[in-house]
Amino acid sequence: MSTPPTVLLIGNLAHTNAEWTSLSKKYSLLEFRKGTREQFFENCRNGTYAKVQGCYRSNMSTLLTGPFNKELVDALPESWKYIAHNGAGYDNIDVSACSARHIAVSSTPGIVNDSTADTGIFLMLGALRQAHEPLVALREGRWKGNMRLGHDPRNKVLGILGMGGIGSAMAHRARSLGMEIIYHNRKRLDPSLENGAKYVSFDELLAQADVLSLNLALNASTRHIIAAPELAKMKRGVVVVNTARGALINEAHLVDALESGQVSAVGLDVFENEPEVHPGLVKSNRAFLLPHLGTSTVETQRDMELLVLKNLQAAVDQGKMLTLVSEQRGLDWVPGHAD
């Protein structure tokens, strides 16, 4: 009788423990639901993971193992071929190091589009309406407090930096609010996918947007893509919304622009050094903030977990990941994904 493939769960599951357990019918299941980075390295060294072919990596697993950087990837046993990651963003995985080891990586795009776009619209409206101060004042018994008049979204220009799935979902919602949509990507979308949005250069996006929404991935080329020079090119009084990754913006420069009035308000779900938040943002009554809740719904979280499990099974059973990360698409060593 052949030995079943071994797979590893790193971190906890909130909604699909039964589905994970059911995989024991065809796999040998290992778990690392709690522990430290050093304990994980020790398991790699002492043979505990010697037969692991792939893992389910919870996005919260970074709290246990730290990032899957080159040091950790290089410590994985030779048997390890797949990382099924739970999260649309995967900047805490060194994909280059994985590719060098011929380890395929998947993420969870698409499923997060609606909940993240809902959060973006919520943040945009909260920032436009200067909602932070009256919300705090109400709970402190000061009724509206030192409330400022806000602005309607109608007839405002929403500039989307990164018109992928989430950006497109954001644009769809913003149209119903009467907003004009412009966007910038490295490459223009096929016109059939624009739905009336206008493609502009990066500098045109900065100059024309009344609201700038960041909806792009974080990597070496996009880190601090918005900093002092870019903020200076924007309309005075622009609103900045970020539901992608905090380090897309130089947070200190954003605080300076907020304090000077160059930026009238911000709506942020992500921060440069999470869970720390720049004190200038915390104290600002023009900063509408959430603690990274973009996909925090029961429906989305369950769907994300299910997709990770499907990726892991497709990888082990068929040698093909359903939602391979873009950097690895077309690589000839990835079965089923070579162009």
Catalytic residues: 245, 274, 292
CA separation, residue 127 to residues 131, 155, 242, 247, 284 (Å):
6, 16, 11, 20, 12
DSSP classification of residue 190: P
Residue 241: phi, psi to the nearest 5? -120, 135
Residue 324 DSSP one-character state: B
* Phi, psi (degrees; rounded to nearest 5) at 249: -115, 135
Q: Do 296 and 114 meet the contact criterion of CB atoms below 8 Å apart?
A: no
Whether 288 contacts 266, CB under 8 Å: yes
> What is the Cα–Cα distance from 61 to 67, expressed in whole angstroms?
8
Report the alpha-carbon distance of residue 59 to residue 305 in Å, rounded. 10
Three-state SS letters, 201-238: CHHHHHHHCCEEEECCCCCCCCCCCECHHHHHCCCCCE
Distance from C-alpha of 55 to C-alpha of 6, rounded to nearest angstrom: 9
- For residue 58, the SS3 value is coil
Phi, psi dihedral angles at 230 (to 5 degrees): -70, -40
Task: Quote the CA–CA distance of 161 and 19 in Å, as a whole number.
Answer: 37
CB 170 within 8 A of CB 120: yes
- At 273 the three-state DSSP class reads strand
Pairing of strands 52-57, 82-85: parallel
* CA atoms within 13 A of residue 303's CA, in its CB half-sphere: 15
Residue 197 DSSP label: P
